A and B are shown apart, each in its own frame.
Chain A
Amino acid sequence: MSWPEREPTEGTPLKGHERPLRTLHGQAMENLRFIRETMERSASFTAVPGKGSVLIGVTALVAAIWAGRMDGREGGAGGWPGWLVVWSWELPLALAIGGIAMKRKARATSLKLLSGPGRKFTLSLAPPLLAGAILSLALTRAGQAEVLPGLWLLLYGAGVVTGGSFSVRVVPMMGMAFMGLGALALFAPGSWGNLLMALGFGGLHIGFGWVIARRYGG
């Protein structure tokens, strides 16, 4: 059994790091790595689902309207402000929509290999989201809930910038826009919080999602 011969007349001569490895499985791993790197370098694929982002944006706008109506009221047994309870329901809904849309997009490309960029994006997004959840609990207990809109926008934006650093340019740009809105929300009057979240989680998701869906599919 031998590895198929390369065609000496057509291919570029192999460089040092491309020399055939001694084992079949070593060469197979090298080939898979090359395929993945080529796909990532071609920079027109993003695991971020465009249509999913638009749908997340729509649910966020509904949440913002609902939260606006709850302003000043308590929303649950814990004595949390009503707007906070509404947005706390929006988070798992958005995560579920994003997860399903990402999976559908990866399946549509019919390549198992594409689970790589998606996994990388998810793993980069998860730590800031987890930090945001823990800080939310701590700040709510300390009676500082009005800083949460800014904190959420900022941390979500940071996660998208990090996760999208190997993706198409539009993804980190979306993250930067979230971070900008988050910074604004942290220093703006507390009453702007819901509006800025509507602009961010609603408007930015819809706008950038539409661009992603049109240019990069899914």
Chain B
Amino acid sequence: MASRAQMEQTTVPTVEPPRPERPRGAARRAVETAPQLDSLIHERIRLGIVSALAVNETLTFTELRELLKTTDGNISVHARRLEEAGYLDCTKAFEGRVPRTRYRLSVTGRQALERYLDHMEALIQAARLR
């Protein structure tokens, strides 16, 4: 007598779903390399910091916090991660008696954002080609 597993193997037809057409070129590479996305930028708050600084020469800690509607701790942690990676330049100074931390996007950071944008656009392109 055949086991239950053997019966299921013989009675259940296996229908292979039609294979989607593979996207080509850069789009295919984007899909294949999706797991290697720049995780530094991919995180939502870090992506917000980099995006805001891409269109502003500099932004202060407070401006970033208000813009991204988040906490001091979050901005502090994420900005430090970006700074350690060389994506941001940070300057600390006093304006009057008030300490001001000012951030600027570095060349490396801008290049990383451009790569990330290219990757996103290629992923969308890949989906359209399917």
Residue A141, interface by CB 8 Å: no
> What chain B residues lie within 8 Å of A29 (beta carbons)?
120, 124
Q: Which of B34, B37, B117, B127 contacts A111 (CB 8 A)?
A: B117
Q: Which of A1, A3, A42 neighbours the largest number of chain B CB atoms within 10 Å of its CB?
A: A42
A34 close to B47 (CB less than 8 A): yes
How far in angstroms is the closest Cβ of chain B from A121? 15
B67 close to A41 (CB less than 8 A): yes
Q: Which of B1-56 contact A (CB under 8 A)?
A: 31-32, 34-35, 37, 39, 42-45, 47-48, 51-52, 54-56
> What chain A residues lie within 8 Å of B128 (beta carbons)?
25
A25 close to B70 (CB less than 8 A): no
Residue B88, interface by CB 8 Å: no
A2 close to B52 (CB less than 8 A): no
> What chain A residues lie within 8 Å of B39 (beta carbons)?
4, 7
B123 close to A2 (CB less than 8 A): no
Chain B's interface size range is 35 or more
In the complex the two chains form, what is the Cα distance from A23 to B124 in whole Å? 10
Q: Which of A25-72 contact B (CB under 8 A)?
A: 25, 28-29, 31-32, 34-35, 38-39, 41-42, 44-45
How far in angstroms is the closest Cβ of chain B from A88? 36
> What chain B residues lie within 8 Å of A11 (beta carbons)?
43-45, 74
B70 close to A42 (CB less than 8 A): no
Which residues of B are in contact with A by a Cβ distance under 8 Å?
31-32, 34-35, 37, 39, 42-45, 47-48, 51-52, 54-57, 59, 67-68, 70-71, 74, 77-78, 81, 110, 113-114, 117, 119-121, 123-124, 126-128
Which residues of A are in contact with B by a Cβ distance under 8 Å?
1-4, 6-7, 10-12, 14, 18, 23-25, 28-29, 31-32, 34-35, 38-39, 41-42, 44-45, 109-114, 217
A and B contact pairs by CB, cutoff 8 A, 8 listed:
A3-B35, A10-B77, A11-B45, A24-B31, A24-B34, A31-B47, A44-B55, A113-B117
